[in-house]
Structure 1
Amino acid sequence: MLEDLKLRVMNTAKKAQRDGLCKHKSGNFSARDAETGYVVITPTSVDREDLVVPDMIVMDLDANVIENQTGLRPTSESLMHLEIYKTRPDVMAVAHTHSMYATVFAVLNKPVPAVVYEIANLKCSKARIPVAPYGRPGTPALAESVVEPCKEADVFLLQGHGAVAVDETNIEEAYLKAAYIEELSELYHHALTANGCQEPDSFPVEELQSWEYPKEIKFPNA
């Protein structure tokens, strides 16, 4: 069932480990099938390099396991993924990472401001990467904590925990946004350090919302 989607979620999880965004079995990934509404999600407590496609688990939005071919359990943070899908029906994929710099700001409970313009691609409606209030991993409290942040932006931090990115198209794009969270967090950290812990300049919402593809570029037959 949903073999192609399982492969893509598995490959993304392995890429996250190779890229250093997840270590020591941390983090989890999921994608939703548009036709069935089912969610393919990574299992708990498995080294990603050992994963095979049948290890991927299929669930419905009520947290019922529909398929787990190898008997593995879905990630303990499944409720968080499912709550995001229920809160944002447009979302088709979720990437949760424990990358270093993003987690530093999650520990500090400090949103990451729009210090570079690229944050405009992350649908941050308040020109920042927000922080979800603390919820114990694996609990309904964690799931509830992400409701407002995922309405505000496609990227957010989990207080004392890690980072989450969502996307309306696919798991690959969700992962790319997770990578951007880490890059922006690292830039912000270095800017604070270089500036004597003084806040650097950042872009206001109005500026980020003003971007458009340049009209000066002309195409044939246009």
Structure 2
Amino acid sequence: MITNEQIEQFIAQAHRVGDAGLTICSSGNISWRIGDEVLLSGTGSWVPSLPKEKVAVCRLSTGEVLNGVKPSMESGFHLGVLRERSDVNVVLHFQSHYATAVACMKNRPTNFNVTAEVPCHVGSEIPVVPYFRPGSKELAQGVIDALKDHNSVLLLKHGQVVCGKDFDQAFERAMFFEMACRIIIQSGGDYTVLTPEEIDDLETYILGKKTK
């Protein structure tokens, strides 16, 4: 049973995402698994100022709406990722300034490991999903497939999706994803990345467990 306190917490986290500049106006969406149910930002809602009446409650197994609020058009990949990943409770689709610029670049980078935070938190390899219409089944399946064994994905000509065990982990991944893209763009393409050996050495920094 979803409580008012949980809805308020979800709204606060949505506003946090907006305050950080990860979403603007109606861009992006966010979800949170609570037991067998999922809170989702509603269709057409503005994540930075998400109100209670725009929070959808869905059954995870079927996607059935339980409170009469239509969920985001991207609910297909939110629910799909949560079904595939028992270790994940939060999914965040965002469109931050620099990462979205990279998603729209003709000659985009293929290696984002400009600082240690990227392989440690975002992922040493970031899969890319080709452009599909927002809200389409093809886009949903592309994101679900990419996040089966990764925690972050770049959507061409669209944005990004990250997932995490909780709000903090998903937020951290999104922020470091954006930081890496800012470094790449502001360097004018004249940047270096960590070597495979340097990435392997980071295992000790993250307690011997490599980030996917």
Alignment root-mean-square deviation, CA: 2.3
Query: 2: distance between equivalents of 1:210 and 1:167?
Result: 23
Match of 1:208 among 187, 199, 203: 199
SS of the residue 1:66 aligns to:
coil
Partner residue, 2:52 = 53
Query: 2: distance between equivalents of 1:10 and 1:78?
Result: 17
Match of 1:142 among 129, 135, 139: 139
Deviations 1:29-49 (A, max 9, x none): 01111xx32111111222346
Query: In the superposition, relative to structure 1, how do residues 78 and 208 fare at CA in structure 2: closer, same or farther (>3 Å)?
Result: same
Partner residue, 1:11 = 12
Listed as ranges, the gaps of 5+ residues in structure 1 are 216-222
Deviations 1:98-123 (A, max 9, x none): 11111112123734421111113226
Structure-2-length-normalised TM-score: 0.84
Structure-1-length-normalised TM-score: 0.81
SS of the residue 2:73 aligns to:
coil
Structure 2 counterparts to residues 124-203 of structure 1, below 5 A: 124=123, 127-168=124-165, 170-191=166-187, 193=188, 195=190, 200-203=191-194
Query: 1: distance between equivalents of 2:82 and 2:172?
Result: 19
Partner residue, 1:121 = 120
Deviations 1:33-92 (A, max 9, x none): 1xx321111112223465333532111232211224xxx311111001111112222111
Q: Which AA in structure 2 matches 1:63?
A: G
Deviation at 1:180, TM superposition (A): 1.3
Q: Which AA in structure 2 matches 1:174?
A: A
Q: Which AA in structure 1 matches 2:37?
A: Y
Query: 1: distance between equivalents of 2:48 and 2:27?
Result: 13
Aligned residue pairs total 202
Partner residue, 1:63 = 63
1:100 aligns with 2:97: yes
Deviation at 1:152, TM superposition (A): 4.0
Query: In the superposition, relative to structure 1, how do residues 214 and 48 fare at CA in structure 2: closer, same or farther (>3 Å)?
Result: closer
Query: 2: distance between equivalents of 1:152 and 1:201?
Result: 26
Contact 2:119–2:125 at 8 Å: present in 1 too?
A: no
Contact 2:37–2:58 at 8 Å: present in 1 too?
A: yes
The ranges of structure 1 where at least 4 consecutive aligned residues each deviate by more than 4 angstroms after the TM superposition are none
Listed as ranges, the gaps of 5+ residues in structure 2 are 208-212
Query: In the superposition, relative to structure 1, how do residues 152 and 105 fare at CA in structure 2: closer, same or farther (>3 Å)?
Result: farther
Partner residue, 2:2 = 2
SS of the residue 2:148 aligns to:
helix
Deviation at 1:14, TM superposition (A): 1.2
Query: 1: distance between equivalents of 2:136 and 2:164?
Result: 23
Query: In the superposition, relative to structure 1, how do residues 117 and 28 fare at CA in structure 2: closer, same or farther (>3 Å)?
Result: same
Query: In the superposition, relative to structure 1, how do residues 166 and 50 fare at CA in structure 2: closer, same or farther (>3 Å)?
Result: closer
